[in-house]
Structures are given as structure tokens and as C-alpha cells.
Chain A
């Protein structure tokens, strides 16, 4: 299952400059594990030591904040677009 992941500028060094990458996973946490395999160092940036999503990183699945879905357990399907957005100064609240 391929999901498109949009990478924020501060993490481009991990993806070799790619703004969009593909990864797989049936939940957001699976996806993060897969990203870690493809781009080592990614998980530590996105999750704290206990494995929780970091407070200052927002994840959007097709423009929906996973905080209002099921957090790290949010399920994903083929073709979903996941955006990783730095939450400096709060959330994405257009």
C-alpha cells in the first residue's frame, strides 16, 4: 500500500531533498516505522522516547488533522496523502 508523504523543509536532509516520498503502512504509526526504514532518523524526529507523536509535529491525512481522527492509529489506504507539518506556534488552522 503506497501512501504519499509530504516532507517539511526541516526534514529534507533526511530524504535527500525530496519533498514528496512514498511509503507504506496501514496506520500512521506503521507508516512512520516504514519511513524510518527508508530514511533512518525519521522516527526520532516525529515521535518521543515513549513512541508518542511529538506535540509540535502535526500530521494531516488528506488535510485532516490526525488529532481529530485516531492519532497514531489513524488508518491509511492506498493513495492517501500524509503531510508532516511543523506545529510551531500552534496548529494548522487556516
Chain B
């Protein structure tokens, strides 16, 4: 008897996307509102960033910007770097990453094991220092690098337009009324938002922002005080909801205690934001995303509080 395996997965690129949608409606008192979160840690690299990394790599190959003489270069605080490194090496690419020195030891270790070259930048300058260095490196040797530039690359938005958006539409049978997500590069919100608004212009888009420039919500950017991603179009959003780091921590712990869901800090911020949004509605179907799991935050102190 020949061995049959269903479905056969030929490479890691096929494992990206098609993540589960988790029903969290019982967090709401109002039974006319439903709340769902997309479990993005099911991606092979462990975060939502596999989606844009895949699209950025494939698009760059197609446009002739990436070939085996070049290294993939970008600034990242972790997840995108992990995604570039895993997906890149599957197609034979080497990766150089600029990251602020204060990214967690777990991330640096993962990146090293996966084979990335990492260049650390001044922790006082946060991700913006890493972005500036990546720009300088690229300018100093444009032949050596493909500068992926997730903050400006339209393929970042396109990934979510092509995958995350349609998945959410199908998983809710087109019933979604509100999409709310944290803003980092803003790729998730811009791409999913564009797809959903085309399907139904009444769907509302809500961005989540840290309530202060100095915050601990990894992955999110305080747009007012930081370098603005050029893919970010604020007027595309219907509303912005602010969340404190402490609120995010609190929700991370609730999800673990009440649902056995082990998520990262920006997922806690997503839930905190979604619950604030729900309080302003009388009915609706809210969808958010949980970008990654708790594994990369083990060294954080808040778990013990």
C-alpha cells in the first residue's frame, strides 16, 4: 500500500496563513456583540510577520530586486527578523538585521540559531535607531543588500490584503462589522482594512496605539512620537483606541488564566482595545488579531506581578 499523507506540505511557505479564529464573545456582557481573534502564532515562524515576509521575498524575486548575490536587510525588533530568516533560508538567502540592543534575549538567541547576522543599535534610540542604521547600510552598499524596508514596502500591506483579509471575511461569513488591530508598521491594518472596505464599505477600522511614547507593547509604534511608516495612512482609519502597557499585561494574564491562551503583549493590547471598542457598540461582530504567543516574552517581569 502506498503511503498517503493528507495534505502534503512541500515547504514552509505553504504553512503561512490560514490561522484559526478564536471566539472570545464570552468576554462581553452584551450578547449582541461577538468578538473573535485570529491566532497568528500558528504561523510557522510563530507570528503574523510570516505573511508579509513571504510576500516581500516573493515579490522582490519577481521584480528582480532579490537574487542570490544579495542579502536580505531590514530593521526589526524581532518577529519580522525571525520570519525573514526562516523563510529566507528556505530559498537560500542570507539575512542581515538591525535591531535595538534591548530586544529580548530570547529573540536574539532565536535569530542566531536560525542563522541571521545581527547588528545591535543603541537601545536608547529604540527601533528608530535600527531603521536609520539599516538605511545607512543599504546606501553604503546597495549591490550587497536587498533592503526589505517593511515600513515602506507595499508588499507588507499586500500580504494582508491577499491573505489575512480574505480569511477573516470567510471565517465570519462576511458578517464582520469592526476590524481592530495594533499599529506597528500598520501593514496588518492597512492591508486587511483595504480588503474589507472593498467588500463592505460600512466595516469600521480601528487602530490600537500605546497610550504613551515610552511603552512596553512590543511590536506597536507610538505614531505621534516615532518615525512614521510611509505605508501608514491615518485617514483610512475610523478610530484610534489607546491602551496602556499595564492594561495589555493584565489581558495577557487573563487570557492565560481563563482561556489557557498563551499570547504576547501586543495580543493583550488587542484584547484590551477590542473590549473598549465593544463598550461603545450596541451590536456587531468584532475581529482582532493576536500577533504572537508568549514564548518570546518569558524574560519579562510582569508575569510575576
Contact = CB atoms under 8 A, between A and B. Distances in A.
B218 A10 contact: no
B124 A6 contact: yes
Nearest to B301: A55
Nearest to B220: A88
Contacts of A19: 124
B78 to A, nearest CB: 6
A56 interface: yes
A67 B302 CA distance: 13
B128 A58 contact: no
B218 A13 contact: no
A89 B245 contact: no
B115 interface: no
B214 A11 contact: yes
Contacts, number: 105
Contact of A10 (B101, B126, B217, B296): B126
Interface string A31-46: 0000000000000011
B174 interface: no
A86 B301 contact: no
A88 B299 contact: no
A10 B213 contact: yes
Contacts of B129: 9
A8 interface: yes
Contacts of A8: 123-126, 214
Contacts of A13: 213, 225
A84 B214 CA distance: 10
Contacts of A58: 102
Interface residues of B, number: 38
A93 to B, nearest CB: 4
Nearest to B304: A55
Interface in B163-191: none
Interface residues of A, number: 29
Interface in A39-94: 45-46, 48, 54-58, 67, 83-94
B222 A85 contact: no
A91 B297 CA distance: 10
Contacts of B106: 90
Given A8-B125, A9-B129, A93 B105 contact: yes
Interface in A1-43: 6-11, 13, 19
B44 interface: no
Given A54-B245, A89-B297, A94 B213 contact: no
Contacts of B301: 55, 67
A35 B253 CA distance: 33
A9 B125 contact: yes
A10 to B, nearest CB: 4
Interface string B239-258: 00000011001000000000
Given A10-B225, A19-B124, A55-B305, A86 B216 contact: yes
B285 interface: no
9 contacts: A9-B226, A10-B214, A13-B213, A55-B301, A57-B214, A67-B301, A83-B124, A88-B216, A89-B102
Interface of A: 6-11, 13, 19, 45-46, 48, 54-58, 67, 83-94
